[in-house]
């Protein structure tokens, strides 16, 4: 680039950043505090992105554009040019041309064309992930600069597993809103696998809920907040309500509403019978929502098995009761999951601290 082009680019960056990024002195250019915030995030983003680009083709470090990388991410996700174009709000030839340009620079195909759609190669998947995380880092930059100017910008996205919707997260969000009245926050409900994918791609900042052992992937880390136990629930007038000691042989004959297969809660429920060498109940309705479970149990003689803390509001109000069953269940670790190396903004760090405080209070109850 020419010197005037660099000067013009820096001037544009400073306008978009809301102020000067450099102090101009006789001895040279030196980062301002605003510039240091910008440079930290920019360096993190570009180091990740450049490494992935270089693996595909070193020339891409110079030639790849934002539009091309956005198209690449969309096609990797949709596995189809037409669907990717629709998701981006672009014409299909525009997306196809962007992918073709990247493949020409790479001198090799990045997608395998199959009857089921476009299957990305490993370098292509790695590049799409690196681009997503780089774009996420740019969003973090906007939030940091807004914070520097006293503005509440940048949406915080929290992934919420079932337990956190009843315990910890509501308290933390209420306290956060009292401190940050204008800060955008989005809470996404979903399965563990879906939310984990969002955390890994940078679409979700962190998630809260039951932790996994072992971790299914190596690019995230977990932070335990407290331990939770399971409870067996019933309506107050259930025939087993007043029994002092209910055996597993009796429980095995009941109809149940329990979490779905593959969750830590369901594993503990299944192990309760398997370890005692008793056939598991034959009548199972899979249900991970305490609200739905409550309504089902109140309308039938079914039993429910779910987190003790998750059902706390229902049992305290007398809507459901916990049966007296000697289960010897171990506590389940509940906590946070976020990307390794993730650097939260001040607003994200504040919400995390409030979540930790709410968890500490819940753990003492």
pLDDT tens figures, 12-67: 999 999 999 999 999 999 999 999 999 999 999 999 999 999 999 999 999 999 99
Largest CA distance in the chain: 87
Quick one: which H or E segment has residue 277? none
Q: Copy the structure tokens of residue 350.
A: 């504040």
The alpha carbons of the chain give a radius of gyration, in whole angstroms, of 26
Give the pLDDT band (50/70/90) at residue 365: low
Burial 88-98 (b: 16+ CB within 10 A, else e): bebeeeebbeb
| 314, 289 contact by CB (below 8 A) | no
Q: How far apart are CA 361 and CA 239, in angstroms?
A: 35
Give kind and range of the element (H or E) at residue 352.
Answer: helix 346-364
Q: Which part of the chain has CATH 3.40.190.290?
A: 230-330
Q: Classify domain 230-330 at the CATH topology level.
A: D-Maltodextrin-Binding Protein; domain 2 (3.40.190)
Question: What is the pLDDT, as a whole number, of residue 104?
Answer: 94
CATH superfamily of 152-227+343-364: Periplasmic binding protein-like II (3.40.190.10)
Q: Which residues lie below 8 Å from residue 202, measured CB to CB, with a gap of 6+?
A: 132, 133, 135, 136, 137, 339
Over residues 271-283, the mean pLDDT reads 92
Q: Given 1.10.579.10, 3.90.1200.10, 3.40.1390.10, 1.10.10.10, which CATH number is that of 17-129?
A: 1.10.10.10
| Per-residue pLDDT reduced to its tens digit, 220-261 | 999 999 998 899 999 999 999 988 889 999 999 999 999 999
The token duo for 129 is: 């992930």
Residues above pLDDT 70, as percent of the chain: 100
Q: Structure pTM?
A: 0.85
Residue range 277-281: average pLDDT? Answer: 93
Which residue is it, tokens 């107050």?
A: 236
Nearest residue to 300 (alpha-carbon basis) of 279, 285, 313, 315: 285
Summarised one tens digit per residue, pLDDT across range 74-107 is 999 999 999 999 999 999 999 999 999 999 999 9
Q: Which residues contact 246 (CB under 8 A, 6 or more apart)?
A: 240, 323, 324, 325
What pLDDT was estimated at residue 183? Answer: 93
Separation CA 210–CA 160 (nearest Å): 10
**What are the residue ranges of CATH 1.10.10.10 in the chain?**
17-129
Domain(s) of CATH 3.40.190.10: residues in the chain: 152-227+343-364
Residues in the chain: 365
Environment class of 340 (CB within 10 Å of its CB; exposed 0-12, middle 13-18, buried 19+): exposed
Judged by DSSP in three states, 209 sits in strand
101-142 pLDDT, tens digit each: 999 999 999 999 888 899 999 999 999 999 999 999 999 999
Whether residue 361 has pLDDT greater than 90: no
What is 212-243 written as a DSSP string? -SS-S-SSEEEEEEEEE-EEEEE-TT-TTTT-
Average pLDDT over residues 194-218: 94
| Cis previous bond, 214, omega within 30 | yes
**Among 12, 312, 65, 323, which Cα is nearest to 171's?**
312
pLDDT of residue 148: 92
What is the edge-to-edge ordering of all strands in the sheet holding 283-286?
Answer: 283-286, 255-258, 303-307, 230-234, 321-322
């Amino acid at each position: 680039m020419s010197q005037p082009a660099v000067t013009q680019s820096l001037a544009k960056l400073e306008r978009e950043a809301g102020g000067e990024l450099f102090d101009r002195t006789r001895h040279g250019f030196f980062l301002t505090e605003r510039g240091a915030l910008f440079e930290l995030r920019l360096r993190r983003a570009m180091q990740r992105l450049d490494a992935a680009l270089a693996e595909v083709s070193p020339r891409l470090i110079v030639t790849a554009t934002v539009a091309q990388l956005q198209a690449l991410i969309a096609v990797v996700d949709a596995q189809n040019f037409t669907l990717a174009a629709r998701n981006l709000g672009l014409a299909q030839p525009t997306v196809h041309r962007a992918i073709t340009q990247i493949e020409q620079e790479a001198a090799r195909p990045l997608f395998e064309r199959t009857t089921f759609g476009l299957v990305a190669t490993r370098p292509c998947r790695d590049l799409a992930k690196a681009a997503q995380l780089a774009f996420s880092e740019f969003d973090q930059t906007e939030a940091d600069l807004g914070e520097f100017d006293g503005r509440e910008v940048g949406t915080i996205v929290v992934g919420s597993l079932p337990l956190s919707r009843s315990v910890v997260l509501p308290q933390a969000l209420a306290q956060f809103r009292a401190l940050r009245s204008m800060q955008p926050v989005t809470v996404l409900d979903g399965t563990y696998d879906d939310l984990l994918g969002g955390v890994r791609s940078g679409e979700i900042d962190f998630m809260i809920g039951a932790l996994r052992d072992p971790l299914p992937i190596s690019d995230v880390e977990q932070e335990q907040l407290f331990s939770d136990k399971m409870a067996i629930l019933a309506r107050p007038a259930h025939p087993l309500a007043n029994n002092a000691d209910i055996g597993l042989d009796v429980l095995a004959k009941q109809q149940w509403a329990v979490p779905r297969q593959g969750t830590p809660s369901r594993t503990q429920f299944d192990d309760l019978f398997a370890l005692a060498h008793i056939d598991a109940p034959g009548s199972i309705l899979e249900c991970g929502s305490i609200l739905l479970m409550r309504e089902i149990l109140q309308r039938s003689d079914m039993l429910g098995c779910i987190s003790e803390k998750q059902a706390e509001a229902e049992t305290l109000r007398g809507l459901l009761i916990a049966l007296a069953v000697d289960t010897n269940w171990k506590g389940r670790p509940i906590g946070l999951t976020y990307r390794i190396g993730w650097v939260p903004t001040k607003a994200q760090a504040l919400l995390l601290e409030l979540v930790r405080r709410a968890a500490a209070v819940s753990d003492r109850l």
